[in-house]
Chain A
Amino acid sequence: MGGESPSKISMSACPKFLESKVTFLPLLETLFGLSLCLIVAFQVAWFASLPPLALPGLSGVSFVDLSNYGQLALSFLGAATAFYLYLSPPRRNLFLLTGFASGLWFLSNCYWYLYVKIFGTGLNYPCTADVGFLGVFLLLATAAQLTFAERKLPVFVAPAIFGAGIGGSLLAALVHFTGQTIINVLYCALISLLLLQVVKSYARPYRVFFAGVVCYCVTMFAYLLRETYFPGEPVFTVVGQLAMVTFCLLALGLIKYYQEGKAC
C-alpha cells in the first residue's frame, strides 16, 4: 500500500495471545461501532432539545464527568487496539503512530480532567496538556504520509489551505495579542498540515480512518474556539463528543486496514 514499508523494529517473538485463532477484532469493531452510534444519537438528541439538557437528572457537572470518562475510555481503547494490531506481524507504522497518538491524547486528557477535579476549574489555555494535543497532529500526519501513496496536487492547494488556516489565526492574533491567540496560530498551522496530508493521501477504501483524522481537526478547532472566544458556551460541549467520535473512527479505520492487509 502506497509508499509504506513495514517497520523494522526487532522485538522478542510475537506474544502468544496474538497467534491465537480467537481474535478480538470483531469484538473491538462492535464496541467501537456501538459507541459511535450511541454518541451520535446522544448528541443529536441533545441538540434537538437545547435547552435544557436532553437526559433528565444529569447536572452540568455530571455531564462533564460522563463526557471525560467516555473520552478517556475510548482513547485508551483506541491506543490499546492500535498497539495490539502493531504487535502482530508485519508491523505497520500506521498502527504504531496512531496508537501513540491515541495514547498521547489519553494522557493529555487525563491531566486536563484531573486538573479540573483537583482545582474545580478549567486549565489556563495554553497549558501542558496542549503539548500532547499538538503532538497528535504530527503523529497522525506522519502516519498518513508513510502509509498511503501521495497524489500530486494543483499548486494552489497547499497555499490555500495554509493561507486560510494560518492567515486567519495570525489576523486574530494581531487584533488581540495574547498567549492564547499565539498558540492558536500553532494549532491552526498543524490543523492545516494535517488536512493537507489528508487531501494528499486520501484513499477511498480507508475513508473511515481519514474521517477520524478530519474529525480530530474539527475537534481541536472547536476546542481552541471554545477556550479563546467562547468559554462556558453550552454548544461547545460538543468538543467531548467529537473527541470520542474521533477515536472510534480511527480504531475502526485501523481494524479495516489490518483486515485488508491480512486478506492480501
Chain B
Amino acid sequence: MLIELIVSIVIGVTIPKLYMLLFLRKHQRTMMYYMFWGFFSAIVVYSVYEILGGFMDVSYREVTVAPLLEEFVKAFPLIAMFIVTGRRFEKHVLPYALASGIGFSILGNYLATVNGNLTQVHQIAYVLLQAGGTSLMQGCCTALIGYGIFLLRDVEQKALPALLLGLYSVAVLLHSLYNLLVYNSETGKYFGILISFCLLVALLLLYYQDRLPRLRDLGSELLAD
C-alpha cells in the first residue's frame, strides 16, 4: 500500500533527524521542524491522491489538483500562525518555508525512485530531474509564500486576506506551470527547470539583499588593493 510505504519512509527519515535536533540551535531547530512538517504533509497529500486515484487521471491530477493541494498543505503552518496568532515573521521565514517544501519533495523523490519501473540509467536521469528540478520548484514555491508573509508584516490588516490569497495563487500557478512544462512537453522540460533556477536566484537575492552593498564594497576594496 502506498500510504504504508510513505509512512515507513517518513519514519525512516525523521527519527535520525530527531537525534540531530539535540545539537542544533534555535533557528536551525525551527528549520528542522518545518522540514518535518514537509514530510508529514506528504503523508496527507498522497493519502488524498490514493482516495482520488479512481476518480481522475494522472495528467489532470498533476496539472490541476496537485498544485492546489500541495501548496496549501506545505504552507499551512505559516499561514495558520500568521492569521490565527497574528505572529509577524522575520526574514528567516524564507528558509523555514523552503525547508517545508524541500521536506515534501524528499518524500516525493523517494517515491519516484521506489515506484518507477525504469532502467538503471533512466532511473538516475529521472531522479536527477526530480531532485534537481522538481525539489527546487517545490521548495521555492513555498519559500515564495514565506517571503511574501515576511513582507506583509507591516501591511494594513484589511489588505491581508487578499494578499495572502494572491501569494497562494502565485505559488499554485508557478507550480502548475512547472508541471505543465516538465511532464507534458520535451522542450518545455528545460524551460520548467530554468524557471526553478530563476526563482532560486531571485529568492537568494531577496534574502541576501542587505549584504549586497557590502559585497560590492568588498569587491571595490580588493580591486583597489
Contacts and interface: CB of A to CB of B under 8 A. Distances in A.
Interface string A1-39: 000010111101000000000000000000000000000
Chain B contact surface mostly: helix
Contact of B165 (A108, A118, A135): A135
A129 B173 contact: yes
Contacts of B129: none
A138 B68 contact: no
Contacts of A138: 161-162, 165-166
A93 B210 contact: no
B155 interface: yes
The interface size bin for chain A is: 20 to 34
B158 A142 contact: yes
B63 interface: yes
Contacts, number: 92
Given A111-B180, A114-B180, A138-B162, A9 B173 contact: no
A7 B170 CA distance: 21
B177 interface: yes
Interface stretch (B3-11, B21-29, B181-189): B181-189
Nearest to B185: A118
A167 interface: no
Nearest to B210: A12
A71 B223 CA distance: 46
B166 A131 contact: no
Nearest to A110: B177
A107 B170 contact: yes
Contacts of A7: 154-156
Interface in A126-158: 127-129, 131-132, 135, 138-139, 141-142, 145-146
A119 interface: yes
Given A8-B154, A110-B177, A128 B63 contact: yes
Of the four ranges (under 10, 10 to 19, 20 to 34, 35 or more), the interface on chain B belongs to: 20 to 34
A135 B184 contact: no
A31 B151 CA distance: 31
B209 A12 contact: yes
B68 A128 contact: yes
A92 to B, nearest CB: 11
B174 interface: yes
Interface string A106-117: 011011001100
Given A96-B155, A138-B166, 11 more contacts: A7-B155, A10-B154, A93-B155, A111-B176, A128-B67, A128-B172, A128-B173, A132-B169, A141-B162, A142-B159, A146-B156
28 contacts: A5-B156, A7-B154, A7-B155, A7-B156, A8-B154, A8-B155, A9-B154, A12-B210, A101-B166, A104-B166, A104-B169, A107-B170, A108-B173, A110-B173, A111-B180, A114-B177, A114-B181, A118-B181, A127-B64, A128-B176, A131-B68, A131-B173, A132-B170, A138-B165, A142-B158, A145-B158, A146-B156, A146-B158
Interface of A: 5, 7-10, 12, 93, 96-97, 100-101, 103-104, 107-108, 110-111, 114-115, 118-119, 127-129, 131-132, 135, 138-139, 141-142, 145-146
